[in-house]
Structure 1
Amino acid sequence: MLTFREEGDPAAPALVLLHGRTADHNDWNGFTQHFAARHHVIAPDLRGHGASGYPGEYPIPAMADDIAALLVQLDIERATLVGHSLGGMVAYHLAMRHPELVERLVLEDAVTPDPMPDRAPVVEDGSTGFDWRMVHDTERQFLHPDPAWSAGLAGISAPTLVLSGGSASPFRAELLAERIPGAKLVTIEVGHLIHLTDRKAFLQAVDGFLGD
C-alpha cells in the first residue's frame, strides 16, 4: 500500500516523482507545484518510507512494480518518471519491466547497478520515518546487484535524461547514460542532492528535457 500526493490537472500528462532512500514525498516540496503547472503530478512514498507500508521485504524490482500498480490504480496509461538516488533505480527498473507505462525517464544521480565494495557499512542512528530493514535490504542490492540489471538498461526505450552530481557524488551516474540507448547526460557539479543543492540548474535541465 503506497501513500502518495497528487497535484495538477488529472487530464494533464502524468509525472511521477520518486524520492531517494530514507526520504519521502516531502522531499519534493516546492517541486510538485512547479511541475503541476503542466503535469498531473504524483509523488508517492516508496514502500518502507513515510506513510506507505513496511512489508519487511524490499527487492528493488518489486518496488518498481509497486509504482506500476499505482499507475494502473490511477488509470494512468503512461507517465514521465523523475527519480532521485534509490528512486532513480526504481524508475529505471520500472522502465525495464513495464516499458509500456513510461513516457520519459529522468534519473537524478541514481544508484547504478554495479558492485560497490568500498562503501562504508550502514550504521543505524535512531532516525525515523522509514524502515531500517529497507535500508539494510537495499544496501545489499547496492553492493551486490543482479548482473542482469546492468544488461537490462540496454533495453530501455524511453527517452532518458541522466543527471550526474559530478565528482562529489558517491555514484557514477554517467555509467547509466552510457548503457541506456540515446540517453542525454547533464553533469551538475554539486554532489548527490542535485535538486536540493541547485534547484535552478535541476529545473532548467528537467524542464528543457521535458519540453523537447
Structure 2
Amino acid sequence: MAETRTVPAPGGLQFHCRIWGPDDGVPVLLLHGVTGSGAAWERVADALGPRWRIYAPDMRGHGASSRPGDYSFEAMRDDVLALMDALGVPEAVLVGHSMGGIAAYLLAAARPERVSGLVLVETPPPVPLGRPAPVRPEGELDYDWELRPQIIAQLNAPSEAWWKGLSAITAQTLVVSGGDQSFLPGERVLEMTAEIPWGLLTEIPVGHDVVAAAPERLAAAIGDLF
C-alpha cells in the first residue's frame, strides 16, 4: 500500500505524492497523463516490485495538488525537478505517460545529470498535433479545467526548442508506443526516438492508455531495461 505525502515546492505550491518501496530502492518518478493522478500508477507500481523506490505525484492542476492556473509543460518540468529536490532524490528514472512524458523529456534535456533513465509512454512527439479544442464535461472534475486548453495549445504549437532538446538527452530512453490503436503519428514517434541518442522504441499495442490497459507489460519493459 502506498504512503501518501504532501510535498511543498517553491512558489507556495504543494504536491500530493504516493510513495511505494524501500528507502534504498532505485528511485523512479511516475508522471501521469492529462486529467489523471498518481493513483493511475498503482498497478504498475505493484508490478515493478520492491527493488524500486517509487514516487507518483499528482501533477499541478490534478488530484490533490495545487491548481496555480499556469499549466505549461515548462512549468511541469520545473515541478518535477522541485519535487526531486524536496524528496532528496539526486537522480531518478523518469517514466511519463502522455502529458507526463513531455515534462519528463523536457527535464531530461535540460538537466541530464538528474535523469538516470527515461521511459516515454505514448508521449506526443514535439510536432504540431492538430488536436481539436476541448469541450468541458458537465459536473465536477478531479482536475482544473483550465489546464486542458493550455495543454492542447502547446501540443498543437510546441516550441522548436523541444525537438532540438531531444539530442541533449543522455539517459537510456525507452519509447513505448500503443501501436495502431493510438492517435499519435507513428512515423513521428519513430523520428523522435531516433533523435534521442540512446533511444529505443517498443510497442505495447493497446492504444493510448497503456498504463491502464497493460500495467504488467509496461512494468516488465521498464524492469528489463533498468
Q: TM-score range by the shorter chain?
A: over 0.9
Structure 1, unaligned runs of 5 or more = none
Q: Distance in 1 between matches of 2:43 and 2:216?
A: 12
Superposition deviation, residue 174 in structure 1: 2.5
Larger deviation, residues 14-23 vs 163-172: 163-172
Q: Secondary structure at the match of 1:3?
A: strand
Larger deviation, residues 165-174 vs 127-136: 165-174
Larger deviation, residues 42-51 vs 91-100: 91-100
Corresponding residue number in structure 1 for 2:52: 39
* RMSD over aligned Cα atoms: 1.3
Superposition deviation, residue 36 in structure 1: 4.5
Corresponding residue number in structure 2 for 1:204: 220
CA distances 1:112-146 after superposition (whole Å, capped 9, x unpaired): 110122x2221111351101111111110000001
Query: Are 1:20 and 1:87, in contact at CA under 8 Å, matched by a contact in 2?
Result: yes
Query: Are 1:15 and 1:79, in contact at CA under 8 Å, matched by a contact in 2?
Result: yes
**TM, length-normalised to structure 2:** 0.88
Asked whether 1:86 is paired with 2:102, we answer no
Q: Distance in 1 between matches of 2:45 and 2:215?
A: 13
Larger strand proportion of the pair: 2
Q: Distance in 2 between matches of 1:76 and 1:36?
A: 19
Asked whether 1:19 is paired with 2:32, we answer yes
Q: Secondary structure at the match of 2:68?
A: coil
Among 75, 78, 82, the alignment partner of 1:65 is: 78
Q: Which amino acid aligns with 1:80?
A: V
Corresponding residue number in structure 1 for 2:202: 186
Superposition deviation, residue 30 in structure 1: 2.0
Corresponding residue number in structure 2 for 1:174: 190
Q: Which amino acid aligns with 2:154?
A: Q
Q: Distance in 2 between matches of 1:203 and 1:36?
A: 9
**TM, length-normalised to structure 1:** 0.94
Q: Secondary structure at the match of 2:201?
A: strand
| Sequence identity (%) | 36
Superposition deviation, residue 195 in structure 1: 2.5
Structure 2, unaligned runs of 5 or more = 1-13
Q: Distance in 1 between matches of 2:135 and 2:69?
A: 18
Among 112, 135, 157, the alignment partner of 1:123 is: 135
Asked whether 1:9 is paired with 2:25, we answer no
**Residues 201, 30 of structure 1: alpha-carbon distance in 2 compared, 3 angstrom cutoff:** closer
Q: Which amino acid aligns with 1:87?
A: G
Query: Are 1:157 and 1:181, in contact at CA under 8 Å, matched by a contact in 2?
Result: yes
Q: Distance in 2 between matches of 1:147 and 1:92?
A: 14
Corresponding residue number in structure 2 for 1:164: 177
CA distances 1:169-208 after superposition (whole Å, capped 9, x unpaired): 1113323212111211001221101122223432232221
CA distances 1:1-21 after superposition (whole Å, capped 9, x unpaired): 211011111122101000000
Q: Which amino acid aligns with 1:7?
A: W
4+ long deviations beyond 3 Å: none
